[in-house]
Structure 1
Amino acid sequence: MSSVTQFAEVLARFEPSPAGEVSIQPCSTLFSHPKEMASSSSSSSSSSSSSDIGVILNELTCPVCFELYKEPICLPCGHSFCRVCLETSWEKREADAGCVCPNCREVFPQKPKLKKNVIVANLVENMKLKKGKFGLGVEVQDAEHGDVNVKEGMKSGGSESYCELCNGEAAKRCVPCEILCCEKHLKPHQQKGHKLVDPRVKIEELRCVEHGKPILLYCKDDGSLMCVTCRGGQHWDHDVVGVEIAHAELKDVLAAKYPHVSQSMESVASQLRQVQKEEEKTENSSRDAEDSLEEKRRLVCQFGNESVDLMKSEINKRKMEKLSLLGKQREKLEQQMEDLRQGKSTMDTALQDLESISFLQGSKDLLKRLETMSDFKSVKRTPLPVLDFSKEEKNLDGLIMLNKNFLEKIQKRQVEHPEKVELDQNNLRRLYGRSPSLDPNSAHRRIKISRDLRTATRTRTDNQYRKHPDRFDCWTQVVSCDCFSSGRHYWEVDVRSSSWWDIGICLNSMGRKGEDSCLGANPESWCLWKHNNKFSADHNDRCTSLSVPRDHERFGFFLDCEAGELTCFGDSRVLHVFRGNFTDPVKPAIGVWDHGGSVHFVHLLI
């Protein structure tokens, strides 16, 4: 029976009762599965009518907006949609993706002519009239998508955070269909076995950048994701597996490493607690020592102040005594000076008197006065004590010299102490630790740089790098972004994943092109070198063999620019010390020579 005929028969059953009411089952029974409808053919007429109209409502509902069709159109594949829903769905897709049926996903290279489906439109209008006439509810259920109610008038979503078929929040992204789905639109894709990912994952991230096809394979040699087309290109001789297999294998590798990492975390946590306790102890000890020194400073200052004040008081006392004696002598001498001045004045007057009688009349008194003056004797000055404090000053000089010697000893100890600290790698990490990052612009085309810019991996094929004047073109090497020209710096390199490498530093001005750019083979680079478990220290094409008792996992490098030294460590043991002019800008450098080998700058917790 056709949908039109069935629809007509169903409408015929809905005649109003005398009370103007129609007996209809709840909306949950309107959209029963067709098999359930067949099995319930013997039910009451009211139940059968509800099931029949449920089927018709389902046929007249747009699969995009879950509403009755509004201006329905039909695609060449046979599926119908609201004109607005279909055009909105196409507008949200990229222009070069073609026109796709939202239901069956058939692609139409050219946009088909959209013509109104007159029959379906008429059925929808009649259904709306019947709904108004019989008081049917305005809610429609979708049996295909899990009997979820969708309100009439719902607008389709337009944001990438929402379902592309409704306004619901997107729960997953269907990779084959390239569509965001909410929970209610997700079930058909789950039933078809489509791959579903987090809605935040973008489709372009799941496609090959070069060919635009889905990423299905993983190259173990290069550690890169690729599509089927890439397999026949530069990866034809590589070890390639499916992404699911690679995912499972990597998870197994991580699971195997997990206990080691957990144990390492416990060990590091224990050491961290010890360091924290030592730091706290050091803080308390330093605070106590400073308090004690402050008290000694107070006592020393108090002793110095009291000594100086006492000496100044004694000086002032002796000064006053001597000044008193000198004052008395001065007063006596001044009185004698006045008497002599008066006698001299009398003699001057007598000598100037030319009258004999007058001169003789006063001569008696004059001679008597002269006799008195002739008895004048010099004042006897008693020697006064000298203000001598040389002894006290000598004692103070001795105290000053003692303090000076004490300060010199402290300064000498401060100079010697850092030299001892520098030889301890734990203190080097704490005081001068650095975590260099690699410069992708300097990496040779067969050196792949990790996303965190700390790991350099040797690949068999060229990586897609842009041309750059700093890029090595002959040797598989890379330098750090960090550049040092002063101060002290310490970093570590993990070499567990490589058996053939060279690690060290080079002048920033070292050439990057040609054979002369090899680390250790020119006067502008210094490095440790390893191959076949043999080690050497290389500089200016001169190699110094090193005795390394076992294969180390890490090597440390301590650069003292002012001292002109690069100290190389292996398990807390000094392997070699390079000397040169490191006040010119230098950069940490790495060379990896074995295929698939990796060298990693360790992230030091500063």
Structure 2
Amino acid sequence: MASSSSSTSDIGVILNELTCPVCSELYKEPTALPCGHSFCRVCIEKSWENREEDTGYVCPNCRDVFPQKPKLEKNVIVANLVENMKLKEGKVGLEVEVEDAEHGDVNVKEGMKAGGSESYCELCNGEAAKRCVPCEILCCEKHLKPHQQKGHKLVDPGVKIEELRCIEHGKPILLYCKDDESLMCVTCTGGEHQDHKIVGVEIAHVELKDVLAAKYPRVSQSMQSVASQLRQVQREEDQTENSSRDAEDSLEEKRRLVCQFVNESVDLMKSEINKRKMEKLSLLGKQREKLEQQMEDLRQRISTMDTALQDLESISFLQGSKDLLKRLETMSDFKSVKSTPLPVLDFSKEEKNLDGLITLNKNFLEKIQKGPVEHPEKVDLDQNNLRRLYGRSPSLDPNSAHRQIKISGDLRTATQSETENQYPEHPDRFDVYEQVVSRDSFSSGRHYWEVDVGSSRWWGIGICLNSMGRKWVESGLGENPASWCLYKSNNDFSAYHNNRCTSLSVPGDHERFGFFLDCEAGELTCFGDSRVLHVFRGNFMDPVKPAIWVYDGSVHFVHLVK
């Protein structure tokens, strides 16, 4: 207990000596006057600024007067003692309050603003630029130069000195062990690092930066590759969204047409039923009128006969019988009304048609619910059926058109022009061949479209992958692995893929050609005059677009009305 009290008393004495008489805090940039007393630079400056007498500059402690303002120089010894005290106590700031000077009791409070600042030079109170590690002092740009000339280690003002010291020995970190990849001080070299490869931290810094710099291009290239793949995925996502939206729009149109057909059929049958009903009711009404008239005549006969039969007098009966018989004879004879055969309200045939449509749709829904078929059934390649079931009407993409291709307002006709059109720059635009692709892309399902070539003698029509290049010589349809093309030059036909040509025999001069794409089967079937001209095979699960190559005249995507 006595030792603890003595230690506390010693700290109190030291702290008392390192406390500014003006602000009662630890010195901040301590400055000594000619009389020997020290103050914080800011405190003594403010003291003189607020003085009332004009006789000179007064020491706030001993009241000595200086006729001229003394030259204020840093008290290096006191400053070092303050910094050492801060390091010793392990705190940035201390507040010391002497409660009882006689007994030497001291209270140490955390949070006191003391010593230097992380923002100001400890020599001139200017803005600090660096901290000198060996000298443990903050310096501005001006006072930093001597430390730079001596080769001292400099760090940013916010870096704590403790972070730059060896945890084990408390000495500055100056070395780097390559074997353990760890920082160390000079003392550490004699321990477990004795046989390790050790270099200075600056050398290790340069070497590791060189290693990172060497790896940077590869990482950057990988980043660009991933970014390109991300863009491709984004494009495919957009195309999937567009394809899905187009499919949904097409289904909605089919729903409308089916509903319209069913509604019109039912309304027509109901109208016909009502018409036949009215005709039959009219005939039945006329038959009822005739039968009711006959019934009235018969009632009159019965009434006359009943009256005569009730007459009991023979003479009276005989006298009136002659007249009665004569009246009965004058009445029209009863004749049965022959009913005209009326048509039966039979719509069994029409109902069977509707029942067939319902059954067809039930089977269709069951097939969809079972999921996609791994091996699609063989498609009937009748063009009428293909047109009805899978018909598409592609529209051209102006952003892909070569500048010598003019696109019609409805985006269905591509015309070769002698002058270049003033199209804006676009990454999808062909710049070598007079080509254009459609806005539509397909990666699943079956699709059929037709192209009118009646105004052109030299053309190429087919499909290409979305990823096919647009800016070099190999971008011609059929001249690369990413495109498949039916080609015509005057009257010569051929099929092109990956720059390989297959000659085709196409009799006659056809103006319309059909193309059926089965993505799952991996087939593109080309038709001419209801004949299969050629079948391309490939991986069409990747998005592909219908494409046109126009050498002269015009080529037109036909609008197929289902």
Q: Normalization by structure 1: what TM-score?
A: 0.37
